[in-house]
Structure 1
Amino acid sequence: MNLNFDLRLTQEQKLIMTQKMQLSIKMLQMSGFELQQYIDKELQENPVLEANYNKEESSTEKNEIDYKKVLEYLKFDDYGHKDYVNNNEDEVSPFNFISSEKSLKDFLEEQILELQENQYIKEICRYIVENLDYRGYLDSSTENISREIKSSIEDTEYSLKIIQSLEPNGIGCRDLKECLKIQLNKRGVEDKVLFSIIDNYLELIAQNKINVISKEIGISKERVQEYIDLIKTLEPKPSRGFYTGENVKYIVPDAFIRKINEEYHIIMNDNLLPKLNVNSLYKSIILKDEKSDKTSEYVKDKINSAMFLIKSIEHRKSTMHRVLEEIIKRQRPFFDKGKEYLKPMTLKEVADNIGVHESTVSRAIREKYVYTNMGTLRIRDLFTTAIVSKDFGEDISVVKIKNKLEEYVREEDKKKPLSDQKLSEMLKENGMNISRRTVAKYREELGIKSSSKRKRF
């Protein structure tokens, strides 16, 4: 066995990502909200970094900094950035269309104030309202409520009945069955068969097993269908339409696409983030002609970090702008005529045309939105795969196939709904060569039930 040791020199190429490169890539894929949070964190940790939230105030009028001298001192690379024209006169903020939503609890409180009840009962009613969940359901028993507020079961039950008599219909229910029955009672419906269906067959209704319900109850399938149609007119979530304080998300677009004089223009949303700059009080420390000390080294390091953050944000905006420019070139018919004209487009195709890696495009559009004449769109949704069509002589967008699938289902005979196999055959007749399994996949993505669950009697 040879156990000799020797030294050898080898030459190899290896890509090593520095911490700053990793951070730049991370910022590229951040959503607007995530980037806002990151900037807030940096503002707290970096004393030389400051933010201007007043967009109308020019950065050249206040705290003007000679960045050329600072950059020359720090010997940075190119920290220039591309300027984007933002016509604020015509800009329409999406927040202009967000109206003030009435709280469900406020709405109930208004009704409680008008009750012809004593103050004690009203306070129990208010406590019950405070225990309603985001759906408008009461997830606590009357026994627990009585024990918590030291009231009698009778008073608590009476107060709950009062809440259940208020608007919206079904409020204060303890489960779906009670929710539906409260609404029927308010309509004056007293059909025992209908109430029996709600108590015993909701799961079978969800599976559209009308035959089973018909046999077990002993009524016709047509009559069962009528009962189900009536149940579907009821509201399973009484809080719908009211602000409940949960699951509320606002989408702020990263850019606006406007059509001006038959040309589409990209306006980056500069209001999404604050204007960042370096505090002018710190620049004098590093620009002095003195020997370096710990203070100046600390300031130099912080300015280095601040300038890198500013550059990374501008790089993020520049990359998004280039991606959107390419999307507009390739999807002009979509922006002109609508979603039916969305062409197949992949990340790789866009990346090759703008000279970046496919992963860069993927990060640049992650959780990013753009405001268009068709509303706010997720950029990722503009990228679709294609099905090769020999008949049409061109690739067909998956979106177009899904639209056709929806059309077939919408126009089908509901007594004899189309199976996935039949839908596949119909699509093939139109040059869309996809299998039954693919049809099932697209149908589920569209939220369309299977043929057995779409059948009506």
Structure 2
Amino acid sequence: MAMMPRMELRQGQSLVMTPQLLQAIKLLQLSHLELQNFVEGELERNPLLEREDVSEGPLQAAADSAHAADQESYDRAESLNSQEGMETRLGTGLDNVFQSEQPTVARLDSSGADSLPIIGGAYGGSGGSFEEGPDGFESGLTADVSLHDHLSAQLDLAVHDPAERLIGRHLIDAVDDSGYLGEPLPEIAERLGVPVERVEGVLRIVQSFDPSGVAARDVAECLSIQLRDRDRFDPAMQTLVANLHLVAKRDFAALKRLCGVDDEDIADMVAEIRRLDPKPGRGFGGSAAETVVPDVFIRAAPDGSWLVDLNPDTLPRVLVNQTYHARVSKAARSDEEKAFIAECLQTANWLTRSLEQRARTILKVASEIVRQQDGFFAHGVEHLRPLNLKTVADAIGMHESTVSRVTSNKYLICSRGVFEMKYFFSAAIAATGYGEAHSAEAVRFRIRQMIDDEAPADVLSDDAIVARLKEGGIDIARRTVAKYRESLRIPSSMERRREKVAMAMGSR
């Protein structure tokens, strides 16, 4: 059979990932802060996009009304002056008007709430103002002193040699928010072109600064500095600090043997170590902690169901300015201008639709999570059910990857606190017999409860925890209990027993 070229027509389906579709998928997994930054960038780039005007609150509306009343009084006064003559009414007409037309007071509501004076009224009165002084009220606020500034001020007083002061500034720059030196000395010395010994000498000066223990290279050095400042760094304490791993394991028998002290001394030494600050820099202003803002509100309804609402503060409000589009479209002359305007309109329409779709998807996923985990919201962690992405995806008719993106970096708030949406997805632990499977998170909670309630004379081993869980209908392996216990940062039964013994000795 001879091979010949020929043309054929074939029908098929394929998914084309356009840039708009890729961006829409990306929007799903952004946190509300990341989304706000993205929208801000689009507002700057696209002239057809504008923020949606948020309706003014009752206080601002009342203030505007009062200001309008003040302006009307002023206009009436001016009208009286112009009608009757300024010479004859300066002493009577204006005084009467201003006495009877005092600035209106705005109220938050009509229920007798405290009233607030209008700020900066038409008369320039002396009522409270947030803009007193050239820099406004913010000039009266004091910012937290950073650890870097605190150490730099001490360096200027303690070191006068310019070269050593430069070394000191580099060392201070390498100190993190916890107060530890985050860069090896040889690297600093090589960068500055000086001997390591000279850098070590300046480091000892910086380590003498307040707070005690700052610029240490590890925990042991941090504690040693603080103990020297307290004149408590004797040979026994040096040995204890050199064996902090034994302190963590509560192996007090080995510590007594190494330090050459008795039970009472070792208890006092460990207690003194625990009174020290392993993070001396945390008392100073550092990088601002990011506050978690919930994306979804969960509230109980009177009929026993749950109300699921989106947090409007996390939803950017943007509109397409059709009026401006019509005006610039008529003014466009070249093909490039028309293409640019068309692209801006397409991008603006896509963004508004994508934001609406994102909001609907978050609400749909959150509603299904609440439906699946009704027991948690009503009764607590012990009633958390096993749940995976596929279960939610099948219930709402979406793909698992979509549910995964929606639950990333999203939080909901309910009467039990703020939780990441991914918290409600937990592996299943089999039940004994034919009972219903248990959530791994609920099992962790039970393990924590058992250990918190254990008596000092009856510390539970992992095997004992397994036995108690099986009595409660949870079929679990010992290695799983050990893994969950370690994830909760709970020491082993031997370490907990040593700690309880030491606490009992210390209380005598």
Same fold (TM over 0.5): yes
Distance 1:360 1:429, change over 3 A: same
1:283 and 1:364 map into 2 onto residues whose CA distance is 33
Percent identical residues: 33
Equivalent of 1:136 in 161, 172, 179: 179
1:193 maps onto 2:193 in alignment: no
1:423 maps onto 2:465 in alignment: yes
Q: Figure out how many residues of one structure are paired with residues of the other and give that number.
A: 406
Distance 1:455 1:225, change over 3 A: farther
Show the counterpart of 2:446: 404
What letter corresponds to residue 233 of structure 1 in structure 2? Answer: R
1:406 Cα deviation after fit? 1.1
- Contact 1:344 1:386 (C-alpha < 8 Å) held by counterparts: yes
Give the 3-state SS of the residue equivalent to 1:389 in structure 2: coil
Show the counterpart of 1:30: 30
1:310 Cα deviation after fit? 0.7
Show the counterpart of 2:290: 249
1:348 maps onto 2:347 in alignment: no
Greater helix percent: which structure? Answer: 2
Give the 3-state SS of the residue equivalent to 2:280 in structure 1: coil
Equivalent of 1:377 in 419, 440, 447: 419
Bigger shift: residues 431-440 or 19-28? 19-28
**1:202-281 correspondence to structure 2 within 5 Å:** 202-219=244-261, 224=266, 227-245=269-287, 248-259=289-300, 261=302, 264-280=306-322
1:184 Cα deviation after fit? 3.4
Give the 3-state SS of the residue equivalent to 2:385 in structure 1: coil
Bigger shift: residues 282-291 or 176-185? 282-291
1:376 and 1:119 map into 2 onto residues whose CA distance is 49
Give the 3-state SS of the residue equivalent to 2:50 in structure 1: strand
Give the 3-state SS of the residue equivalent to 2:342 in structure 1: helix
Show the counterpart of 1:86: none
Task: Give the structure-2-normalised TM-score.
Answer: 0.66
Show the counterpart of 1:444: 486
- Contact 2:332 2:338 (C-alpha < 8 Å) held by counterparts: no
1:293 Cα deviation after fit? 4.6
Bigger shift: residues 101-110 or 24-33? 101-110
Q: Deviations over 1:348-389 (max 9, x none)?
A: 222222222222222111111123333322111022232232
Show the counterpart of 1:70: none
- Contact 1:347 1:361 (C-alpha < 8 Å) held by counterparts: yes
Show the counterpart of 2:220: 177
2:360 and 2:229 map into 1 onto residues whose CA distance is 59
2:271 and 2:4 map into 1 onto residues whose CA distance is 86
Task: Give the structure-1-normalised TM-score.
Answer: 0.72
1:257 Cα deviation after fit? 2.6
Give the 3-state SS of the residue equivalent to 1:235 in structure 2: coil
Show the counterpart of 1:69: none
1:189 and 1:50 map into 2 onto residues whose CA distance is 65
Show the counterpart of 2:50: 50
Distance 1:416 1:5, change over 3 A: farther
Q: Deviations over 1:40-66 (max 9, x none)?
A: 3323332322335x63369xxxxxxxx
What letter corresponds to residue 177 of structure 2 in structure 1? Answer: Y
1:106 and 1:216 map into 2 onto residues whose CA distance is 39
1:135 Cα deviation after fit? 1.4
What letter corresponds to residue 29 of structure 1 in structure 2? Answer: Q
Equivalent of 2:346 in 288, 295, 304: 304
Distance 1:197 1:278, change over 3 A: same
What letter corresponds to residue 344 of structure 1 in structure 2? Answer: P
Give the 3-state SS of the residue equivalent to 2:294 in structure 1: coil
1:35 Cα deviation after fit? 1.8
1:301 and 1:206 map into 2 onto residues whose CA distance is 63
- Contact 2:239 2:259 (C-alpha < 8 Å) held by counterparts: no
Q: Deviations over 1:277-322 (max 9, x none)?
A: 2234532158769999543333122101111011001100011111
1:399 Cα deviation after fit? 1.7
Show the counterpart of 1:283: 325
Name stretches of at least 5 consecutive residues in structure 2 with no aligned partner: 58-108, 110-140, 502-508
1:218 Cα deviation after fit? 4.4
1:391 Cα deviation after fit? 5.3
RMSD: 4.4
- Contact 1:392 1:431 (C-alpha < 8 Å) held by counterparts: no
Give the 3-state SS of the residue equivalent to 1:423 in structure 2: helix
- Contact 1:254 1:268 (C-alpha < 8 Å) held by counterparts: yes
Name stretches of at least 5 consecutive residues in structure 1 with no aligned partner: 59-88, 90-98
Distance 1:196 1:281, change over 3 A: same
- Contact 2:226 2:276 (C-alpha < 8 Å) held by counterparts: yes
1:414 Cα deviation after fit? 5.8
Between structure 1 and structure 2, the one with the greater Rg is 2
- Contact 2:386 2:425 (C-alpha < 8 Å) held by counterparts: yes
Higher RCO by CA contacts (8 Å cutoff, separation 6 or greater): 1
